[in-house]
Amino acid sequence: GYGHAVVLQRSKSIAGPYESDPQNPIITSTPYYYYRRNDPDAGRPDLYNPDAPLQKAGHGSLVSTQTGEWYVAHLSARPLPGLHSILGRETSLQKMVWTDEGWLRMADG
């Protein structure tokens, strides 16, 4: 689908309660202002953003390096005209930073 995203929640305890990031999703290629949850998105061209070179961004894993840098490794695709991604889902890497309020953001904005 075209509406995948990486959303963030945090808690002081593994058991919760969890608080959703007010700017969710933190990574997405959908053109909508907010991520449309619980909406089937497979094959939906209205979720395709022609201005985004990477499509289908989502399903990320957060990692930190030994030097204290943070990254999210996530899936994406680079479609040809017509929405066909002949290379399939690829792995992308985004550098991240923590805000003073304790939320994760893409380093390049």
Q: What's the domain count of the chain?
A: 1
Give CA–CA dist 67/57, Å, rounded.
26
| Predicted pLDDT at 14 | 96
pLDDT > 90? residue 95: yes
Give CA–CA dist 71/69, Å, rounded.
7
> Which of 78, 15, 2, 94 has the alpha carbon at shortest distance from 44?
2
For 19-29, write each residue's pLDDT tens digit: 999 888 888 77
Give CA–CA dist 59/73, Å, rounded.
8
What is the three-class DSSP state of 47? helix
Query: In terms of residue numbers, what domain contains 33?
Result: 5-106
pTM (two decimals): 0.73
Name the residue with higher pLDDT: 106 or 42: 106
For 62-86, write each residue's pLDDT tens digit: 999 999 999 999 988 887 776 677 7
